[in-house]
Amino acid sequence: MVLNEFQPSPHLKEYVRVYRVIRCVFDSNSSLPFKPYAPKPEHCLSFYPRDTETVDYTQSTNKISNLSAVIFGQQSEVTHRFIGKDFLVFQIVFRPGALYRLTGIPSFELTNSFLDAEMIFSKNLIQEVNEKLFYTEDFPKMIAIVEDFLKGQFSKIKIEKHKIDSICDILLSNKENISLDWFAKESCLSMRQLERKFQERMGVSPKYYNKVVRFENAFRMKNANPNLDWLSIAIQCGYYDYQHLVKDYKSFTQQTPIEFHLLDLNSPERKFGEADTY
């Protein structure tokens, strides 16, 4: 199994945080469990050149399947992901605001979405990228294929970068709590303007975004350090105490930290001794 992240070329770093590649092949007789996928602070474009995945929204009960390339915005509920037995996904994780700048679609319209990328980009181009990805197992070549596509798309970009985008970039690597007043001051916006602009570019409120960044830090820390106790994780990720962490876990997953991580232990990647730490 491959579960890796790769950095974009320098000329695309303004728009792309990272490329994420997951490749796994299961025995034809295997019975595959689902992957519980908690909200992450990210907007993505994913290519599926081999088997696709079925995405089941646990609260809204929406179910999406059989898409060879998808665009999705900020998620606010857990999805259960069911993958195929010959599975490859090449995922472009955009920098904050970059997907909005690229498509012109207000990000709140993509919240809790899993949309066919052929509705937004050229169908022929999407199919061409998938076909090329299908015929290579070489990751540098995969990156080159995707970056050729991205260069063509970003050459048409019309929406300028905003201070909010840069602030969210900082927030993604910040471990301390940040106030809404600080957000507004650094963005040179009133609180009302901040809320409107933030929804447009990130798809959610600044308060929610700050919250999901902190939650994801805790989730990844536990997977990377399974023997670390929950109180230590809570404090290191900016929570006041363990109960504060529990409150966020219940808000995002409807479960306690222990309950959700027990569910995650049955994810497909665990069959290969891997864990979701990205």
Residues 131-152 have pLDDT tens digits of 999 999 999 999 999 999 999 9
Q: Is residue 145 part of a domain?
A: yes
What confidence score (pLDDT) does residue 89 get?
Answer: 97
Could you tell me if residue 278 is inside a domain? no
- For residues 211 and 103, membership in a common domain is answered with no
Q: Is 198 exposed, middle or buried (0-12, 13-18, 19+ CB in 10 A)?
A: buried
Nearest Cα neighbor of 186 from 211, 210, 215, 204 is 210
Q: Are residues 200 and 139 in the same domain?
A: no
Are 217 and 232 in a shared domain? Answer: yes
Element (H, E) at 152: helix 139-154
Is residue 74 left, alpha or beta, with left meaning phi > 0 and alpha meaning psi from -120 to 50?
A: beta
Of 92, 125, 159, which closes a domain? Answer: 159
List the chain residues with pLDDT less than 70. Answer: 175-176
Q: Give the Cα separation of 171 and 148 in Å (integer).
A: 29
Q: How far apart are the first and last CA of the chain?
A: 15
| Pair 14, 132 in one domain | yes
What is the DSSP track for 50-74?
SB-EEEEETTT--EE---SEEEE--
| DSSP state string for 181-222 | HHHHHHHT--HHHHHHHHHHHHSS-HHHHHHHHHHHHHHHHH
CA gyration radius, the chain: 19
- Report the C-alpha gap between 236 and 175 in whole angstroms: 8
For residues 185 and 193, give the distance between their C-alpha atoms in angstroms, rounded to a whole number: 11
Same domain, 115 and 242: no
Same domain for 10 and 114? yes
Residue 107, class by beta-carbon neighbours within 10 Å (0-12 exposed, 13-18 middle, 19+ buried)? buried
- Interacting residues of 272 by C-beta distance below 8 A, sequence separation 6+: 1, 24
Is residue 127 located within the same domain as residue 90?
yes
> Which pTM does this prediction carry?
0.94
CATH number at residue 83: 2.60.120.10
Kindly report the CATH number assigned to the domain that includes residue 220.
1.10.10.60
Q: What are phi and psi of 115, to 5 degrees?
A: -100, 145
Q: Can you give the pLDDT at residue 175?
A: 67
Look-up of token digits 């939650």: 215
Same domain, 112 and 190: no
Domain that holds residue 104: 2-159
Beta partners for 15?
none
Looking at 159, 194, 213, the residue that finishes a domain is 159
Per the structure, the count of domains in the chain is 2
- Is 276 inside a domain boundary? no
Query: Looking at the domain assignment, is residue 59 inside a domain?
Result: yes
The residue out of 124, 159, 194 marking a domain boundary is 159
| Same-domain status, 133 and 170 | no
Task: Provide φ and ψ at 228, rounded to 5°.
Answer: -75, 135
CB atoms near residue 165 (< 10 Å): 19
Burial (CB < 10 A; 0-12, 13-18, 19+), residue 174, is: middle
